[in-house]
């Protein structure tokens, strides 16, 4: 009976309702949390996550939606008030923490912005074209809203690459004169800016979007504020500064100028306490104490944010694997605040990206300036403002080719490309590939080339060994750094250039090989050596010593169809220098210079009894140019070098002694050198102490104090001291026991910070002119024309003046900058062509590492340009300026 009832109850006319399942679905629906993410191309998408979900869940959904492979460089930003991140609301902008609940971090406002969190120091090492595209979009946003500052010429060049990527090749019939007026390319864009961008756009013909973006990144990465997350602070003097964190370390900006850099290798510890942020630096051999620098932040929250940012960037860029969290970190007060850690490092990201995908997928490019239909090559009329790009897109015409172009392709503005060969920028500069690797690769001087051919991703070069079995080139780099050609024998330069990046050797990819493995792979080759290389961005000019810019702007005094005034070599050299600075090519050339010539020994500096006389271990004078003391109180060695620079087309020689700032133990040696060299001018380019670190010992007595007994025979008196703001002038007298005496002038320039550049270029130019005038006012040293002629020989006053003694702390960086600046001013006054790179090369052949970094070189070159624009070249050279 019961069985029959049950069957009737559950017959086709009956039904059921699962109450519990409906309740669970209702609960799940109530726990759903909707968030909106805005991407870098201004599109938006909504995502649904559970309210208790952590940030990693949302991040993974975003990465999957974009099919983003190199996702470790990106993150999600949100603001406390829900407004978009900008230059004015950096205080309330936060990064989504992947380990914490999304709901607790953002509250009710669930608006996020995708952004680049870790900027790759070498964008060319990114495996995905799509990643480079997103990086370009991010940088364009930062340039437009003022969060990244760029020099005017560089900003124009970057804008021209943006136009090339968005609109393609310039076409007279389809691009009217005002075709850039509707595009938002620069802040406060003017008609003159658009004209110059148009001229640059014409030079990029043949570049595919990927190539234009690669060139954009190659120039953008050289900006001082590239990849810098800035935090406002105050220094120990109460001045407003910005502390930035980058892949190389912690940098300090003042008035948008980088004034100091603390690399990770020089930092021992970073910490914060309340509103103060601290950096502890590695102790130098000459120091007996630790140096801790403190900065005042706006609040304790700001100090913690800077500390957290520094820890995360150090972990991402410097570690090979994430740091394990301490077991006692959870105990809070017992272990202190636990340092944050990144889930993955850049090394892991690059390795995974290289393995995950061998070819780039197709994706849609959207105009970063405004929605606009492509005039040429658009995939479909429906894709307005978009461009579909695949890895199979045909390669562009090489911009450095000499092949003749059809007359139909030559249009207005192409005269620059016909007169000057404009190279594409493909260089891959890695700081890890230092000069220490020079000459350690496979070397030789004889080469029989079998030719080269373009292949996908590079150029194939086939080489035969010479009679000595060598292939005629050196390599540097390897491991995390790209493998670059460092030296090339003279007969190989038609096939291989210095700076070419080696992609593969005999079919073996070198990305994961260290330097020794690369060298061994070359040495083990029998017969033909097959290389796949990326051409170097530094164009090898036909005339040695000339700088060839990566791009050239249209001179205002030279229009198409007009010839340049002949014979003005100075103007042409300054134009090349200006274009090189604007494009970054000048700094690229500078970075290729050898810091120390390997064939010039420095054995005297390495002797055991001389080691303590060197302020820094790696700054040692060459034996061939070092100053040798005749009656030195502690021997004949002092860390000083002669630098003699000849002025072309004249009998003038500017002579210097470049030396380190004296140590307490070398003051006597320093004054003995001044006496023996008969010098009457000392130029000091440092203060005694910078940020708590001793840079130079005070080697002179104060006015009115007891004279300084420098040696057993020399006594130093300071007779006067005058402070002129950015420099101090002191008059001193040297007296010897025999009664002989000499007046010496010391000029101490106090406005050049260590590892930075001066704020006022005009003041530095004026200071350099003062040094030159004091040198010229002193009598020359008489020299014998023919020493073998005996008493009948004549004396000459036109050969060499007493050397100007120049020193900073190490005697190479700021010292070399002053030498270069005085040489440049002398050449300007004589209207001689000026090539700063050749001058630096000549200086480093006499003292290693002169002009220590690119920022110093850039500052001097820009100061030279400013002096030229102010009409200094029109001033006549002073008589006796040798």
Domain ranges of the chain: 30-116, 229-351, 435-536, 603-778+797-874
pLDDT tens digits for range 654-691 = 999 999 999 999 999 999 999 999 999 999 999 998 76
Hey, do 30-116 and 229-351 end up sharing a CATH topology, with the first three levels equal?
no
Across 562-574, average pLDDT: 60
How far apart are alpha carbons 82 and 490 in whole angstroms?
Answer: 62
Neighbours of 675 (CB within 10 A): 21
The two structure tokens encoding residue 495: 């096939």
pLDDT tens digits for range 234-272 = 877 778 888 999 988 898 888 877 878 888 888 889 999
Which of the four pLDDT bands, split at 50, 70 and 90, describes residue 123? confident
Contact 243, 233 (CB under 8 A): yes
Across 46-66, average pLDDT: 89
Higher pLDDT, 89 or 114: 114
For residue 280, report the phi and psi dihedrals to the nearest 5 degrees: -100, 125
What separation in angstroms does the CA of 597 have from each of 133, 643, 658, 811, 814? 40, 15, 17, 17, 20
Which fold would CATH assign to domain 603-778+797-874?
3.90.190
List the catalytic residues. Answer: 808
How far apart are alpha carbons 734 and 680 in whole angstroms?
Answer: 10
CATH of domain 435-536: 2.30.42.10
Across 316-342, average pLDDT: 62
How far apart are alpha carbons 223 and 119 in whole angstroms?
Answer: 12
How far apart are alpha carbons 870 and 4 in whole angstroms?
Answer: 111
How far apart are alpha carbons 253 and 305 in whole angstroms?
Answer: 18
Which fold would CATH assign to domain 30-116?
Ubiquitin-like (UB roll) (3.10.20)
Contact 761, 865 (CB under 8 A): no
Task: Evaluate if residue 136 carries a pLDDT over 90.
Answer: yes
How far apart are alpha carbons 734 and 741 in whole angstroms?
Answer: 5
Residue 286 CA from chain centroid, whole number? 29
How far apart are alpha carbons 441 and 485 in whole angstroms?
Answer: 9
Q: What is the pLDDT of residue 105?
A: 85
Secondary-structure class of domain 229-351 per CATH: mainly beta
| Closest alpha carbon to 759 in 786, 725, 735, 806 | 725
| Burial category of 603 from C-beta neighbours within 10 Å (exposed 0-12, middle 13-18, buried 19 and up) | exposed
Across 718-732, average pLDDT: 93
Q: What is the pLDDT of residue 554?
A: 32
Which of the four pLDDT bands, split at 50, 70 and 90, describes residue 350? confident
């Amino acid at each position: 009976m019961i069985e029959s009832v049950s069957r009737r109850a559950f017959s086709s006319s009956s039904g059921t309702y699962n109450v519990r399942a409906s309740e669970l679905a209702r609960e799940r629906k109530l726990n759903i949390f909707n968030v909106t993410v805005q991407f870098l191309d201004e599109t938006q998408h909504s995502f649904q996550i559970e309210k208790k979900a952590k940030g990693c869940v949302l991040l993974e959904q975003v990465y999957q939606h974009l099919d983003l492979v190199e996702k470790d460089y990106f993150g999600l930003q949100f603001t406390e008030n829900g407004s978009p991140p900008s230059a004015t609301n950096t205080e309330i902008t936060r990064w989504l923490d992947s380990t914490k609940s999304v709901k607790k971090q953002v509250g009710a406002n669930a608006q996020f912005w995708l952004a680049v969190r870790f900027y790759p120091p070498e964008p060319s090492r990114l495996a995905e074209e799509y990643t480079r595209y997103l990086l370009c979009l991010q940088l364009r946003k930062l340039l437009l809203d003022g969060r990244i500052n760029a020099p005017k010429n560089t900003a124009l060049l970057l804008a021209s690459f943006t136009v090339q990527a968005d609109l393609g090749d310039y076409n007279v019939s389809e691009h009217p004169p005002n075709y850039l007026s509707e595009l938002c390319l620069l802040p406060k864009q003017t008609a003159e800016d658009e004209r110059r961008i148009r001229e640059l756009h014409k030079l990029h013909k043949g570049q595919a979007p990927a190539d234009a973006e690669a060139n954009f990144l190659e120039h953008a990465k050289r900006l001082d504020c590239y990849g810098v997350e800035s935090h406002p602070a105050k220094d120990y003097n109460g001045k407003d500064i910005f502390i930035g964190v980058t892949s190389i370390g912690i940098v300090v900006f003042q008035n948008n100028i980088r004034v100091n850099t603390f690399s990770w290798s020089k930092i021992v510890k970073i910490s914060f306490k309340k509103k103060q942020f601290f950096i502890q630096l590695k102790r130098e051999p000459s120091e007996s104490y630790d140096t801790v620098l403190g900065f005042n932040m706006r609040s304790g929250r700001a100090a913690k944010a800077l500390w957290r940012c520094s820890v995360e960037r150090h972990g991402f860029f410097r570690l090979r694997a994430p740091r394990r969290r301490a077991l006692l970190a959870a105990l809070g007060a017992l272990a202190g605040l636990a340092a944050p850690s990144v889930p993955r490092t850049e090394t892991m990201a690059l390795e995974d990206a290289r393995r995950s995908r061998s070819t780039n997928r197709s994706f849609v490019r959207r105009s970063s300036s405004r929605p606009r239909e492509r005039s040429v090559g658009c995939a479909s009329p429906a894709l307005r403002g978009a461009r579909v790009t695949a890895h199979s897109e045909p390669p562009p015409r090489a911009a450095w080719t000499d092949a003749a172009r059809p007359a139909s392709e030559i249009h207005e503005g192409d005269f620059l490309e016909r007169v000057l060969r404009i190279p594409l920028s493909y260089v891959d500069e890695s700081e890890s590939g230092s000069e220490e690797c020079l000459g350690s690769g496979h070397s030789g001087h004889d080469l029989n080339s079998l030719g080269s051919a373009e292949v996908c991703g590079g150029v194939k070069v086939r080489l035969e060994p010479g009679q000595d079995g060598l292939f005629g080139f050196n390599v540097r780099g390897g491991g995390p750094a790209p493998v670059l050609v460092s030296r090339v024998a003279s007969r190989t330069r038609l096939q291989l250039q210095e700076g070419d990046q080696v992609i593969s050797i005999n079919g073996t990819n070198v990305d994961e090989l260290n330097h020794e493995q690369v060298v061994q792979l070359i040495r083990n080759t029998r017969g033909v050596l097959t290389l796949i290389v990326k051409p170097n961005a530094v164009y090898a000019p036909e005339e040695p010593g000339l700088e060839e810019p990566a791009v050239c702007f249209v001179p205002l005094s030279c229009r198409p169809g007009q010839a340049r005034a002949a014979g003005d070599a100075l103007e042409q050299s300054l134009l090349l220098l200006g274009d090189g600075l604007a494009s970054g090519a000048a700094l690229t050339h500078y970075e290729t210079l050898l810091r120390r010539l390997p064939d010039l020994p420095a054995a005297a500096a390495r002797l055991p009894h001389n080691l303590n006389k060197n302020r820094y271990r790696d700054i040692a004078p060459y034996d061939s140019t070092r100053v040798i003391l005749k009656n030195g109180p502690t021997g004949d060695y002092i860390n000083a070098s002669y630098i003699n620079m000849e002025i072309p087309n004249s009998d003038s020689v500017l002579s210097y002694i470049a030396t380190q700032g004296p140590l307490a133990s070398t003051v006597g040696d320093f004054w003995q050198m001044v006496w023996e060299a008969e010098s009457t001018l000392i130029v000091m380019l440092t203060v005694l102490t910078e940020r708590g670190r001793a840079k130079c010992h005070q080697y002179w007595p104060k006015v009115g104090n007891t004279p300084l007994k420098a040696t057993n025979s020399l006594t130093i008196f300071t007779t006067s001291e005058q402070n002129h703001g950015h420099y101090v002038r002191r008059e001193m007298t040297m007296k010897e026991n025999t009664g002989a005496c000499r007046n010496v002038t010391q000029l101490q320039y106090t406005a050049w910070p260590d590892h930075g550049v001066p704020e006022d270029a005009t003041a530095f130019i004026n200071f350099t002119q003062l040094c030159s005038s004091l040198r010229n006012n002193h009598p020359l040293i008489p020299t014998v024309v023919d020493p073998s002629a005996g008493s009948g020989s004549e004396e000459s006053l036109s050969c060499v003046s007493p050397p100007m003694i120049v020193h900073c702390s190490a005697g190479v960086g700021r010292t070399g900058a002053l030498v270069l600046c005085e040489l440049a001013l002398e050449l300007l006054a004589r209207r001689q062509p000026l090539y700063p790179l050749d001058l630096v090369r000549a200086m480093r052949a006499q003292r290693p590492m002169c002009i220590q970094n690119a920022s110093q070189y850039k500052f001097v070159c820009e100061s030279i340009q400013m002096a030229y624009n102010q009409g200094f070249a029109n001033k006549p050279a002073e008589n006796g300026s040798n």
